[in-house]
């Protein structure tokens, strides 16, 4: 991008931090992107949390927001809705796409209604529902808060009698919990950049599942890109991921996570509209495999910014 292209962004705000359960990851993403913006020669201010961003918009201090607020307040449509009242552009998805992607239950209902494959599920609002859910859905299963990211509050349940405790744990993070049938097979992620899917990544972890530690703290998680699928099959999965992303009204950039079972059937798990941008994050790894270095990726994400008014 040329200096003239960058000039159209005006006064840039890098939004990170906030008070969600993913604050620390957001700050790490912010540090990585801030360094890239410096290397690109762009001036910007850093704002901690959605209220600070809205206050700056209200005061006419910013023109473009590079949104790295993971989780609630920044990824769930709240910030996008607030900024729609001001002449400020923001990277990534708008209000509706952000809200639908953040709500795993809403995502699954919409995908299911569109005929897109997603694992069977039940909703729990009380640990006392465990017996009924276990009988109807079966085990093993994943238990997760409906509106959290980074595997916060998630538990893999394989043995009878422990589902209630897993639901109780997830309810500490949300008042609605998703109990999803476990798909045995390979775990993949498809990054989306400006309407196009990047190379798939296959994730292999020695842990029970790709949890918070495996994502951000463990050094033994393996990321395979090329993913090991033949070219035609990879393109097929990429198209499915892009269809799932668009079905939720998402745009700009993001990520769709999915599983392939033992028969090769893909199952959509969730979409992320503000994925991590740390040194261990998946979107930068996929971009690198596509020949897009980190600074170029940051520039291209910035170019997705648009006004929501």
Residue of 216, 223, 261, 307 with catalytic role = 216
150, 191, 251, 281: which is the annotated catalytic residue? 150
Per the annotation, the verdict on 270 as an active-site residue is yes
Check: CB of residue 107 under 8 Å from CB of residue 271: yes
Catalytic residue among 23, 72, 147, 255: 255
Gyration radius of the chain over CA positions: 19
Catalytic position from the list 22, 75, 148, 180? 22
Residue 58 · residue 83 · CB < 8 Å = no
Structure tokens at 145: 């808060």
Catalytic hit among 18, 94, 97, 276: 276
Q: Exposure string (b/e) for 48-78, b if CB count within 10 Å is 16 or more?
A: bbbebbbebbeeeebbbbbbbbbbbbbbbbb
Residue whose C-alpha is closest to residue 276's, from 92, 37, 80, 26: 26
- Which residue in the list 63, 134, 180, 257 is annotated as catalytic? 257
Catalytic residue among 98, 251, 272, 281: 272
The backbone torsions φ and ψ at residue 46, rounded to the nearest 5 degrees and listed phi first, read: -100, 130
Cα(166)–Cα(160) distance, rounded to whole angstroms? 11
**188 included as an active-site residue:** no
Q: Give the Cα-Cα-Cα angle 289, 293, 296 (nearest 5 degrees).
A: 130
CA distance 268 to 257: 6
Active-site annotation holds for 257: yes
Dihedral sign from CA coordinates of 309, 59, 82, 35: positive
Instruction: Decide: 139 and 157 in contact? Cβ < 8 Å.
Output: yes
Query: How many CB atoms are located within 10 Å of the residue 29 CB?
Result: 25
Instruction: Identify whether 158 is a catalytic site residue.
Output: no
Q: How many Å apart are CA 169 and CA 114, to the nearest integer? A: 31
Q: Is 210 a catalytic residue?
A: no
User: With contact defined as beta carbons under 8 Å apart, do 108 and 118 qualify?
Assistant: yes
Which residues participate in catalysis according to the annotation? Answer: 22, 150, 216, 255, 257, 270, 272, 276
């Amino acid at each position: 991008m040329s200096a003239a292209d960058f000039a159209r962004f005006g006064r840039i705000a890098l939004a990170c931090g906030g008070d969600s359960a993913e604050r620390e990851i957001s700050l790490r993403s912010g540090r990585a992107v801030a360094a890239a913006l410096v290397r690109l020669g762009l001036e910007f201010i850093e704002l901690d949390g959605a209220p600070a961003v809205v206050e700056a918009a209200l005061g006419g201090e910013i023109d473009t927001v590079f949104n790295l607020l993971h989780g609630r307040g920044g990824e769930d449509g709240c910030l996008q809705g607030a900024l729609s009242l001001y002449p400020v552009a923001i990277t990534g998805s708008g209000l509706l796409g952000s809200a639908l992607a953040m709500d795993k239950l809403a995502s699954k209902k919409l995908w299911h209604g569109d005929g897109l494959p997603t694992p069977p599920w039940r909703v729990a609002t009380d640990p006392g529902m465990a017996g009924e859910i276990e009988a109807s859905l079966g085990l093993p299963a994943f238990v997760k808060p409906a509106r959290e990211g980074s595997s916060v509050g998630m538990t893999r349940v394989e043995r009878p009698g422990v589902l209630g405790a897993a639901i109780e744990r997830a309810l500490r993070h949300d008042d609605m919990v998703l109990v999803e049938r476990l798909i045995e097979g390979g775990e993949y992620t498809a990054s989306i950049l400006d309407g196009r899917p990047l190379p798939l990544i296959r994730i292999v972890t020695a842990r029970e599942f790709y949890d918070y530690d495996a994502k951000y703290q463990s050094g033994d998680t393996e990321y395979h890109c090329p993913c090991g699928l033949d070219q035609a099959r990879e393109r097929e999965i990429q198209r499915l991921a892009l269809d799932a992303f668009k079905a939720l009204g998402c745009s700009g950039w993001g990520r769709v996570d999915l599983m392939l079972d033992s028969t090769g059937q893909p199952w959509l798990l969730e979409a992320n509209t503000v994925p991590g941008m740390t040194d261990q994050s998946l979107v930068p790894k996929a971009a690198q495999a596509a020949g897009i270095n980190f600074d170029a990726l940051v520039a291209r994400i910035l170019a997705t910014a648009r006004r929501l008014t």
